[in-house]
Amino acid sequence: MEEKLLTEENTSNYANLSQIKLHYNLAGDGEAVIMLHGGGPGASGWSNFRTNIGPFSSKYKTILLDLPQFGKSDPVIFDGDPTEYNARVIKELLDTLGIQKAHFIGNSYGGATSLRFAIDYPERISKLIVMGPAGYGPSYFVPRPLEGIKALNDWWVNQTREQMAKIVDLFVFREELKTQELIDMRQKAALSHPEHIEARAKSVNRYIPDLTPELSEVKAKTLIIWGRDDRFSPLDFSLNLLWRIPDAQVHIFPECGHWVQYEKSEEFNRLILDFLGND
């Protein structure tokens, strides 16, 4: 039988929760894998993980979630830590879908949310994979704010394609992947949801706290992944996580930036599928 081609449209689903409507892309059966995207303009579950959903959905119930204030999910005005809110609504989503436990894969902002979920709801998480997660105190090697974070903040102010091109240039290490199509796709996606831009502007007290003091509470078996050339999350942050999370290991990809799942998609897929499939 011919394998069904997965598209954003034929995997699209919504969940009406108590306080918010969430959008997610769903494919496959089996143990649940939740993939959480980063926090850049134009980010969504599909945009971040479209090259990963196929291999994962052949073995797992794979859910690419649009976090609140992103993609097709509802806007939210945050007053404080958004990862705590995200973790709470993800728990409600799992309850709604009848999923008792899930593996979590989180990139950047999604990595911070995944760690928050692992700390707050340890009984609901199986294995944890984080890639360049946000939310850590000063780097010993790179001054803050990092150039990537500066570029993100500048886009939220001027919202130009030129600024989006700068973001993509900093996100991605390999020149051949910094395409005009990618820049156009992200810019179009970001501008197609003015309600999210407005909600972010109103989230004046939004901040992601330093999770370092709580990392020892992560009980899930954890794989920490980093691009050696990440210009958004310094490489030494990976050692902070490795040192403090009790059951953690780290894998560093050379010649790779902040979007490991995109730049090294084939190696990334093999690495994580092996991690999930072996005890």
Catalytic residues: 258
Cα→Cα distances 239→27, 47, 111, 119, 230, Å: 34, 28, 15, 19, 14
At CB < 8 A and 24+ separation, what contacts does 151-155 make? 152/39, 152/40, 152/41, 152/232, 155/40, 155/41, 155/190
Please tell me the chain's helix, strand, coil percentages from 3-state DSSP, rounded to the nearest 5: 45, 15, 40
Q: Tokens in use for 271?
A: 């690495």
Give the closest residue to 253 by CA, choosing from 240, 276, 272. 272
CA distance 247 to 32: 21
CA distance 8 to 189: 13
The answer to whether 257 touches 222, Cβ cutoff 8 Å, is no
Question: Ramachandran region of residue 209, left (φ > 0), alpha (ψ -120 to 50) or beta?
Answer: beta
Q: Tokens in use for 151?
A: 């570029």
CA distance 179 to 196: 25
